[in-house]
Amino acid sequence: MNTLFLRFAGASTLTTAGVCAVAAYPLFRWGGSDGLISLGIAAGVTLAGALGGFVPLSRAPASDAAACVQAALIGIAIRMFLTLGAVAGIALADLAPHRGAFLIGAAALYVALLAVETRFAARLAAAAGKTAAA
């Protein structure tokens, strides 16, 4: 396993736990225990999509800034399609007990995990640019 991927997986898991902790009480007040179950489903879907989308960036050569940026863009597209497909499938098939809580949780988690992925991609591209200039 690539250490960059493992660091991203850890940061994404902690971010997911933090967003779920913040969103748990309002969604429980709104949807009861069904709201919490739906938030858990949304957390699993968005975390899986984020991890799947990070694979191209974790495989990119760390010494080439252009390759890192291209891999990040490909990863964001993969992540979007994985997450959007899973969220649409779950919402349209009515698999989440509380659809509103599921969609709000998925949207909040998607944005938070996108920020984590962007931070990792920017740091990797900046490090690759420094090594290419040296």
pLDDT in tens, 87-124: 999 999 999 999 999 999 999 999 999 999 999 999 98
Reported as a single tens digit per residue, the pLDDT across 10-46 is 999 999 999 999 999 999 999 999 999 999 999 999 9
Contact 87, 101 (CB under 8 A): no
pTM for this entry: 0.92
Dihedral over Cα of 58, 61, 63, 67: its sign:
negative
Question: If we measure between CA atoms, which residue out of 50, 51, 28, 48 comes closest to residue 38?
Answer: 28
Q: How far apart are CA 72 and CA 93, in angstroms?
A: 31
Domain that holds residue 91: 3-133
| pLDDT for 134 beyond 60 | no
Contact 126, 62 (CB under 8 A): no
User: What per-residue confidence (pLDDT) applies to 1?
Assistant: 60
Reported as a single tens digit per residue, the pLDDT across 55-80 is 999 999 888 888 988 999 999 999 99
Name the residue type at position 92. Answer: L
The total of structural domains in the chain comes to 1
User: What per-residue confidence (pLDDT) applies to 125?
Assistant: 85
